[in-house]
Structure formats: C-alpha cells, structure tokens
C-alpha cells in the first residue's frame, strides 16, 4: 500500500487515503473504505484527483512541494491516471486541466492528453467548446482537441457567456482585447464586433454588454447592435435581486429573480438601467433611486442597500 491524499473539489477537502492494487481507498481509523463513502458524489465524469507526496496551498511553501497528481474513478476506485502531473484540476465537462513543468494541457475522462502541455496558462473549461490559452503575454482560444481556433494574438480574454434567447438558442459571446481595443467573439471564434471599442464589459443574463465609444458608455445586444445609445459617464455592475418581503438587504443571484439592472452614471449621478432599458436617476435632494416600491441606494457604482417604502 502507498499513502495518498484524495482531493474532494466539491467541498475543498483533503482526505487521507491509500493506493492498493491500483485502487484508491479512504483510510479511516486504520480501515480501508471505498472512496465514494466519503467523497462528494456529484463529481463530473466520475473522476477525482489524488496526489502522493507533500502539497500545500501556501504560496510560501512552494519549494517544499513534492506532490504528484493523478485521477481515479470514484465509482470503482480504479486509478485512471497514476500520479504524474505537478497539479491536476477538476473535470469541467469532459476535460480537465493539468500542469507539468509549468506547462498546461488537458486530459479526457480516459486519462489521455488531448491538449498538449505547451501552454503557459489556460482556462478551466471548454464552454461552449473553446477555452482560452496563453503563451507569453498573448492569448488565444483552442478547441477540445487542442486545435487553435482564435490565433494567440490577444491581450486580454474572458470566458464565454451564454447570450441565447433560451437554451435551444445556443449562442455564446466572449470579450477580448487586441491592440488596445475591445471586441467580442462568438462560440465559433468569429468576431461579433471587431476590436474597435475603447472599453467593454462581458455580457450578463440580460443579454446586454456595456461598451464605450468616444468616452461614453452604451449597451449592445448579442448581434453587436446598440440597444442603448452611449450616454453614460460610467457603468458600474450588473445586479439581480429577489424582492421577497423578508429580504431587506442586498443579496445577489437568487433563485426567484424579481429585479435585474445595471448601475449607470449620467451627469454625475448614479442611477439604474433596468431590463427594459428604462433609466432611473435620483430625484433632487435624494440619495437613492425609486424603483417601484423600493429605494435603491448606490455608492460609486455599487448597490449598498434596497429598502421597501413603508406604508
């Protein structure tokens, strides 16, 4: 038997284990247990990381790191990838990012290296089929087989966001920067908007993206058309709130979303742009925006409180 450590990424737990007959077990009170008895069962593709040697998350102890990482199948405990990599990330979909000698690549659920270990850094997921990669100071996107779809010429990249009307409308967009300007690509790596924008932020669930033209901010749709002309000094953040009776505080991303908006600044005042592109600014002498029966307080582009009007 050889000692190992099992990493439960769902709960960020490190569990003591052993490898016996090419099978990983939990070691508990000197008893060997099937790994699934203690590891979260909601692991994509039934693949779980484990390592041998010493590993610490403390950046000051990197010189003490002797760990080698691999994967085993949770349902059977069988080792699929023996400890080989310097670090192994969780599976997202049918790919997992791995590191060897400071180079990144990806493996599939059978443990095969499908994206070569040639990248200085990568994203973690192929969503919706592309993942960003980095060489030196430049970025690009590759597909699941490691083929370069967007050339490594970009200065900044973001992960893809879903921008379809519904989940039968599979449209995605990612923010990119090239030659100091911003643009957007779709899931095929083609430009929705060429990099010509002074500034931009990623799309949100409203299917809107803030963009800057000639020093002013407006909003575009997933086709790259302006739906709100550039007229704002600044755009803060996107917010989604539940306005349940029991909730008087700001708590983002609820299951039952009642209110969605961006914070925007116009003529020096912070206000709101709602999902119907209505603009709400504070009335004279007030430090909040009225939105229905709610007072929305904004400071420096951030929502600091939502209160229901009494009475």
Q: Which residues pair with 100 in a beta bridge?
A: 103
In this prediction, residue 245 carries a pLDDT of 46
Asked if omega into 128 is within 30° of 0 (cis), the reply is yes
Q: Edge-to-edge, what's the strand order for the sheet holding 130-135?
A: 121-122, 130-135, 138-143, 148-154
Residue 153 makes CB contacts below 8 A (sequence gap 6+) with: 138, 140, 178
Tens of pLDDT, residue by residue over 120-144, are 999 999 999 999 999 999 999 999 9
Q: How far is CA 47 from each of CA 10, 85, 187, rounded to the nearest angstrom? A: 12, 15, 27
Domain ranges of the chain: 1-92
Angle at 114 between CA 111 and CA 120, to 5 degrees: 110
In this prediction, residue 259 carries a pLDDT of 78
In this prediction, residue 20 carries a pLDDT of 97
Chain Cα centroid distance, residue 293: 34
Mark out the alpha helices in the chain (DSSP H runs).
Answer: none
Burial class (CB in 10 A: 0-12, 13-18, 19+), 56: exposed
Tens of pLDDT, residue by residue over 65-110, are 999 999 999 999 999 999 999 999 999 999 999 999 999 999 999 9
Distance CA 176, CA 222 (A): 14
| Residue 77 CB-half CA count within 13 A | 19
SS3 231: strand
Kindly give the parts of the chain with pLDDT less than 70.
Answer: 41-44, 242-258, 311
Q: Is the sign of the CA dihedral 216, 219, 223, 225 positive or negative?
A: negative
Mark out the alpha helices in 38-131 (DSSP H runs).
Answer: none
DSSP secondary-structure letter at 35?
Answer: G
Mark out the alpha helices in 207-276 (DSSP H runs).
Answer: none
Distance CA 18, CA 27 (A): 6
User: What residue has token string 């603009």?
Assistant: 279
Start-to-end CA distance of the chain, whole Å, equals 71
Distance CA 105, CA 113 (A): 7
Distance CA 98, CA 121 (A): 10
């Amino acid at each position: 038997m050889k000692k190992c450590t099992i990493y439960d990424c769902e709960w960020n737990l490190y569990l003591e284990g052993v490898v016996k007959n090419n099978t990983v077990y939990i070691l508990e009170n000197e008893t060997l247990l099937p790994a699934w008895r203690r590891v979260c069962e909601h692991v994509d593709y039934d693949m779980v990381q484990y390592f041998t040697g010493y590993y610490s998350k403390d950046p000051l102890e990197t010189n003490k790191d002797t760990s080698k990482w691999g994967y085993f199948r949770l349902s059977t405990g069988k080792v699929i990838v023996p400890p080989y990599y310097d670090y192994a990330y969780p599976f997202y979909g049918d790919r997992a990012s791995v590191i060897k000698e400071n180079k990144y690549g990806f493996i599939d659920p059978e443990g095969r290296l499908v994206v070569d270990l040639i990248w200085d850094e990568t994203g973690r997921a192929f969503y919706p089929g592309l993942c960003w990669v980095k060489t030196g100071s430049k970025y690009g996107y590759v597909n699941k087989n490691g083929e370069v779809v967007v050339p490594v010429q970009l200065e900044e990249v973001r992960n893809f966001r879903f921008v379809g009307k519904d989940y039968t409308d599979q449209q995605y967009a990612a923010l990119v920067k090239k030659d100091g300007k911003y643009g957007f690509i779709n899931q095929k790596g083609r430009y929705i908007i060429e990099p010509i924008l002074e500034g931009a932020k990623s799309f949100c669930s409203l299917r809107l993206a803030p963009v800057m033209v000639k020093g002013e901010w407006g909003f575009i749709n997933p086709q790259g058309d302006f739906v709100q002309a550039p007229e704002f000094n600044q755009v803060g953040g996107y917010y989604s709130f539940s306005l349940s009776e029991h909730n008087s505080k700001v708590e983002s991303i609820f299951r039952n979303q009642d209110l969605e908006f961006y914070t925007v600044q116009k003529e020096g005042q912070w206000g709101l742009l709602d999902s119907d592109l209505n603009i709400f600014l504070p009335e004279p002498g007030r430090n909040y925006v009225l939105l229905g029966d709610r007072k929305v307080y904004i400071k420096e582009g951030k929502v600091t409180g939502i209160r229901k009007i009494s009475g």
